[in-house]
Chain A
């Protein structure tokens, strides 16, 4: 090697050494600053996209607040995948998020079937926490619950209990059950009827009918219910079917012939779209109303959401918001990104509720304790859409199955 070659070699070695030193200097810092990654699987292109986008907005709103101070010196970031309301896609995308994106936590979905599948085949199998935020099947944290799955929204057991309490106070005896022919519809129907029958053994179920989710024409179904002379109908529907159901109730003046109860019928997403054209007198339940209870905290959330996204939140926005808060507080309490410690931290964790008071993630079943508001759709002068009026609050303890009941249900597996 000549003189020139040696010079080049020494300069090269110096440069490489410098780079190595720089990388050693910065590497620990960047590793320490690795953000917390949340993988979100939900339906962003199908009919249910309205609810899922709102849940995401609630999540983002909370993240803005959380990331101002950070969590364990990091920020929380997220990535989304569109499941198109399909179970198989949800499974593939959840796996991809875990395997390729190395997410710390999974969150979503609106589809109860997808939530159950991801819970079993990804969360449980890969030991990664899954926080379900809209899906309402009680099996998610009940019969099929396990260490790695949590729910930050109310479920069919809670809504069903509220339905049982509400309807047991009414004089109706002849009931019909109708709804979406998938996991949520059937779970909701079972829970509502089970609770009503327990409180009022004299009620009679005279028929059932099921339609495909999003069914555009519900007139034949409602005509059959009227023809059967049912006094009340338990409608187990949601999303786009909910809007269709409410429009059909209005068009047929159904409330004059049969009394309908629908969980989330008082929800703003649908009532706002229908405007004054929504039917009055529909008995409904929800775990979040932006105007009730009228607390400073609830007003603050509604205003923040409205200024960020143009309208106040419904229950999906609320669920998305508290999910982010639970994730942030969970990691703070865990003190590290260790998933097992995060789960331990979430169990029994209490956070400030955006409507006032505290929200608890129940340790025994990983189900958040939420109240259910029971009301009836009504026109009011303050809004150009119907709201839930004459509201009664049923506390979480009143509507949730006991831990003993949950353990019994899981023992039957």
Chain B
């Protein structure tokens, strides 16, 4: 067991940016999960499957348009809408009949949905090859920051994360639909009593949450191999993040993502042999310190 001996300022700076970029991907995915948890009270385990569908859809769209830079941008824009369409069908056919059920029932239901969606992905895209998307020319290669080589694409992710956060905040706080969704989260019957179709408000919130899962999948696709199993990888981390951030709190998702991403990155720097345990140790410490999460839980 060896702690890293010499940690330079450059290494600290480099790892900060690397951790930040990972945190932003996690935030895009978990903000959607948090929205669904906060408004609909649904612990959607199938959220990871929608993230995976987003990545697979991005791959297919990128291939359809020739795989170049324009294809990447088109894939990034279109694939979240593909996921939104899938989620709208799921919401209208299944979820809208289950909102009043117990959380355990919803957990089991979304777990089953995760397995079904996983098999559907296997049926549609197959399990015979790894898939890869090439980032656009502008975001290829690396940039030197504090003497550390950081992929340009990771720097792009650092910009996208706050944009999503601000957009989501504006939606929930500055738009009528967002305000109704927040009100419905607190008292569904009261919102219905004033003549608002709560069912469609919930559908919109659900689809928006899933849209963000799809966006996360499309964003991560150029950095990894798009393959089966992506859903399992992300969903545990996503639930840990929304739990330590505060269930259903969007800014909590941001705080949780930062804790998770940065502890993972600095863990590798400080104690590389045992880096895996750092983010999970952070989760344990946060929950011992603040059992309801860092920010106010809406549950």
Contacts and interface: CB of A to CB of B under 8 A. Distances in A.
A216 B229 contact: no
A220 B228 contact: no
B183 interface: no
A243 B151 contact: no
B153 A269 contact: no
B38 interface: no
The contact size tier of chain A is 35 or more
B223 interface: yes
Contacts of B152: 251
Given A47-B229, A217-B22, A227 B11 contact: yes
Interface in A53-72: 53-54
B129 interface: yes
Interface in B137-152: 140-142, 148-152
Contacts, number: 154
B148 to A, nearest CB: 6
Interface stretch (A23-31, A272-280, A336-344): A272-280
A207 interface: yes
Contact of A219 (B10, B135, B154, B229): B154
B149 A247 contact: no
Given A53-B128, A212-B276, A252-B142, A223 B225 contact: no
Interface string A197-216: 00000000001111110101
Contacts of A46: 228-229
Contacts of B269: 220, 223-224, 227
A53 to B, nearest CB: 5
Given A181-B276, A214-B229, A221-B275, A54 B128 contact: yes
Interface in B97-136: 118-119, 122, 127-132, 134-135
B187 interface: no
A244 interface: yes
A50 interface: yes
Contacts of B189: none
A223 B15 contact: yes
Given A220-B18, A247-B224, A277-B132, A211 B275 contact: yes
A391 to B, nearest CB: 23
A281 to B, nearest CB: 15
Contacts of A208: 272-273
B294 to A, nearest CB: 22
Nearest to B12: A227
B129 A226 contact: no
A80 interface: no
Contacts of B233: 214, 216
Contacts of B234: 216
B130 A273 contact: yes
A223 B132 contact: no
A49 interface: yes
Contacts of B154: 219, 251
A252 B268 contact: no
A251 B272 contact: no
Contacts of B227: 47, 49-50, 240, 243
A251 B228 contact: no
A251 B127 contact: no
A270 B21 CA distance: 25
B165 to A, nearest CB: 20
A18 B281 CA distance: 75
B2 to A, nearest CB: 7
Contact of A251 (B131, B141, B264, B273): B141
B44 interface: no
B220 interface: yes
Interface string B38-74: 0000000000000000000000000000000000000
A240 B276 CA distance: 18
A227 B148 contact: yes
A9 interface: no
Among A44, A223, A270, the most chain B Cβ lie within 10 Å of the Cβ of A223
A303 interface: no
Nearest to A222: B149
30 contacts: A45-B119, A47-B228, A49-B127, A49-B228, A50-B128, A207-B272, A207-B273, A217-B264, A219-B21, A219-B151, A220-B269, A220-B275, A221-B275, A223-B15, A223-B18, A224-B268, A224-B269, A224-B272, A227-B10, A228-B4, A243-B224, A247-B222, A247-B224, A248-B151, A251-B151, A252-B142, A269-B130, A270-B130, A273-B225, A277-B132
- In the A-B complex, list the 3 residue pairs whose CB atoms are closest, starting with the nearest: A243-B225, A209-B272, A251-B151
Given A181-B276, A223-B148, A251-B140, 9 more contacts: A45-B119, A45-B122, A47-B228, A209-B275, A210-B272, A219-B22, A219-B151, A272-B129, A273-B130
